[in-house]
Copies of this chain bind each other. A is one copy, B any other.
């Protein structure tokens, strides 16, 4: 996760604003309004559909068969598993599949996903990976942080399942693998002259991720 660590360090306050967003803090403390979480959940479902497209783009963009197979795992994880899990989790909050699929993408959902897809299409696999990283690896960092701080105290937290999912071994390993894959790509495609452009992509993506949390917070008032 060498490249990720460097990008994260250089994103500085923009990274912190994302991983320590008020939404995240309230999620850990269990004090997040239900309306916020529900809005987030539905938007995250729509977000995942676009992320599956981004991983498919990764297969298309892969310079080797190994890269193709790695990126394919991302598509499969979403289309074969995560979308159904999401429907199931939403059901626990009283929302059925029809309601979810009839929902429209909110602005922050469109903003981050189209930025990722467009950055990946215009550039190469490394650009795409860097645009995806704040989401893929950031969620692991957030999950691990919350587990560390609130782990002993989750019994009564309504968002326990979310935290355990991203703090869990499977997701942590997935994020680590993604970071390593990015490093392998960087070994071939990264130059110092290029780095500032990647840092800009990473920072923008982090900002757009923070907006995604904010969208959740803002939903409290308006209700879903």
A59 and B61 contacting across the interface, CB-CB below 8 Å: no
B124 contacts A121, CB within 8 Å?
Answer: no
**Does A81 reach chain B (CB closer than 8 Å)?**
no
Binding site of A, secondary structure by majority: helix, strand, loop or mixed? helix
What 0/1 readout, one digit per residue, does chain A (82-109) give for beta carbons within 8 Å of chain B? 0100000000000000000000010100
Residues of chain B lying within 8 A (CB to CB) of residue A118: 114, 117-118, 121
Chain B residue at minimal CB-CB distance from A195: B188
Would B53 and A59 count as touching, CB distance under 8 A?
A: yes
Which of these, B65, B111, B121, B189, contacts A194 with CB under 8 Å? B189
User: Could you tell me which residues of chain A, from 48 to 77, have a CB within 8 Å of some CB in chain B?
Assistant: 49, 52-53, 56-57, 59-63, 65, 68-69, 71-72, 75-76
List of B residues within 8 angstroms of A190 by Cβ? 191
Chain A positions 162 through 198: 1 when the CB is less than 8 Å from some CB of chain B, otherwise 0: 0000000000000000000000000111110110010
Total A residues in contact with B, Cβ cutoff 8 Å:
45
Residues of B contacting A68 with CB < 8 Å? 49, 52-53, 56, 79
A107: contacting residue among B53, B59, B60, B208, CB under 8 A: B208
With A68-B79, A193-B188 known as contacts, the answer to whether A53 contacts B60 (CB < 8 A) is yes
- Determine how close the nearest CB of chain B comes to the CB of A191; give it in whole angstroms: 6
A197 to B68, CA, bound (A): 16
